[in-house]
Chain A
Amino acid sequence: GENVEQHPSTLSVQEGDSAVIKCTYSDSASNYFPWYKQELGKGPQLIIDIRSNVGEKKDQRIAVTLNKTAKHFSLHITETQPEDSAVYFCAASIGGTSYGKLTFGQGTILTVHP
């Protein structure tokens, strides 16, 4: 089955710095790669996603890049703010048939210091 590895497990940055989280996946049939932000006591919230036919996608301060050949994808957050502090999860679709069947990474605890 699909295996998703996520690094780093914790990331601490100063406000205004950039943050990068990286993930690798094992199933070459995976074709959808979302990123979720989870705040304490809440469910994961989708912040950005990318499909396998696209190499990069950007939404304001957030961007995601995908390298299908190497089977890895990354989340980039620029100009970080304290409210960006949360746990971030990458995910990959299980096989190529349903985007909603996801395998998640282990999560990255991001702390942005004012």
Chain B
Amino acid sequence: EAGVAQSPRYKIIEKRQSVAFWCNPISGHATLYWYQQILGQGPKLLIQFQNNGVVDDSQLPKDRFSAERLKGVDSTLKIQPAKLEDSAVYLCASSATGEKLFFGSGTQLSVL
């Protein structure tokens, strides 16, 4: 069974630029999550989708972050404009039951 796929693997941008991350969940998983992991910390939930609808985006900084999940499969997370404090690993996870999460390897973002 293929795991959660994320791209790109690494991204380096300058502050105030925009960036987008892509996630392809495990086939058949209805629930998709984006987590932000700052170096030395545990992952922090940004947004949760159920199929193509947003379940919870209360911790998403909506002035600069946006996410969508078209057709209830792939998802993209965008940051515009990026700030230095956005440097982190962005993890996508999916779940069939909303219980056990399967994480991708993440996109490591460096904002200079």
A residues engaging B (CB < 8 A)?
4, 6, 32, 34, 36, 41-46, 49, 89, 91, 94, 98-107
Known A34-B100, A46-B101, A98-B55; contact A91-B42, beta-carbon cutoff 8 A: yes
Instruction: Supply 27 A–B pairs (Cβ within 8 Å), ascending by A.
Output: A4-B42, A32-B99, A34-B100, A43-B91, A43-B103, A46-B101, A89-B43, A91-B42, A98-B48, A99-B99, A99-B100, A100-B31, A100-B93, A100-B95, A100-B101, A101-B33, A101-B45, A101-B56, A102-B101, A103-B45, A104-B44, A106-B40, A106-B41, A106-B42, A107-B40, A107-B41, A107-B42
Closest residue on chain B to residue A41 by CB atoms: B105
Q: CA of A50 to CA of B63 in the docked complex: distance in angstroms?
A: 36
- A42–B105 CB distance below 8 A: yes
Is B4 in the interface zone, CB < 8 Å from A? yes
Is B104 in the interface zone, CB < 8 Å from A? yes
Q: CA of A99 to CA of B56 in the docked complex: distance in angstroms?
A: 13
Q: CA of A106 to CA of B102 in the docked complex: distance in angstroms?
A: 19
Chain A's nearest CB lies how many Å from the CB of B32? 9
